[in-house]
Amino acid sequence: MTSKSNITRGQVFVIAAASGTGKTSLVSALLSAHANAAVSISHTTRAQRPNEQDGINYFFVDRARFETLIQQGLFVEHAEVFGNLYGTSTAEVERIIAAGKQLILEIDWQGAQQVKAKLPDANLIFILPPTLETLKSRLLGRGQDDLDTVEQRFKGARDEIAQYHTFDYLIVNDDFKLALQQLSAIVFEDPTPFEIKAQAARHADLLAALTT
């Protein structure tokens, strides 16, 4: 029987992208294809829904408890979204990487920087859309928001894309299968071809179009 001390610790991978880039679909496909990848269970102050289980979907806590956890420094990242607090606990991160799994955190660029500050060895991956037109088309195609909300998300997306240079690795989600292969390569194989410096040079025209 293999002892826990012989298990190779996993790594932390933070995946961020502008809304509408396809980040959630890529993360879902990565998790389905690799049993050795896992997501953490977040803490939240959001009300528990009837189909949700505490400790399975989220750790549901009240605001006072969440703020106490912040003060105690027990989150690697946390944020307030639409009036509710969400956070990734250090204990959850340790539980997953101690089991030898690659931990995938799907959060925004600000959360990514929080994680990097707490966990300098974390790998930050940013995913780009192939064009701004494609990004807007994907936002409209989701059919989830009215036009004003789409415009707000589109503006926010451009602001988020401008932070790409603070990440370690870069992928362009033009072809989904290719983007998934590249994401898998970063997490499980050789991430070197996708390092930010090389990718920024390779996609200089696209980055100029997306950020100006």
In a domain, 93, yes or no: no
Is the predicted pLDDT of residue 2 greater than 70, yes or no?
no
What's this model's pTM, rounded to 2 decimal places? 0.88
CA angle 25, 39, 200 (to 5 degrees): 55
Is the predicted pLDDT of residue 1 greater than 70, yes or no?
no
- DSSP code per residue over 2-21: --GGGSPP--EEEEEE-TTS
- What is the maximum alpha-carbon separation in the chain? 58
Of the listed ranges 31-35, 66-70, 100-104, 129-133, the one predicted with least confidence: 129-133
CA angle 86, 28, 183 (to 5 degrees): 105
Residues of the chain above pLDDT 90, percent: 75
In a domain, 55, yes or no: no
3-class DSSP string for 68-82: HHHHCCCEEEEEEEC
In a domain, 27, yes or no: yes
Mean pLDDT of all residues in 124-133: 93
Mean pLDDT of all residues in 173-202: 97
The residue segments making up the domain with residue 117 are: 4-40+101-211
> What is the spatial distance between Cα 156 and Cα 45, in angstroms, rounded to a whole number?
24
Query: Residues 55-65: pLDDT tens digits?
Result: 999 999 999 99
- What CATH number should be reported for the domain holding residue 143? 3.40.50.300
Q: Is 99 helix (H, G, I), strand (E, B) or coil?
A: coil
User: Model confidence at 4, in pLDDT bands (50, 70, 90)?
Assistant: low
In a domain, 197, yes or no: yes
User: Model confidence at 144, in pLDDT bands (50, 70, 90)?
Assistant: low
Domain count, the chain: 1
User: What's the first-to-final CA gap in the chain, in angstroms?
Assistant: 57
Query: Residues 67-107: pLDDT tens digits?
Result: 999 999 999 999 998 799 999 999 999 999 999 999 999 99
In a domain, 69, yes or no: no
In a domain, 50, yes or no: no
In a domain, 165, yes or no: yes
In a domain, 81, yes or no: no
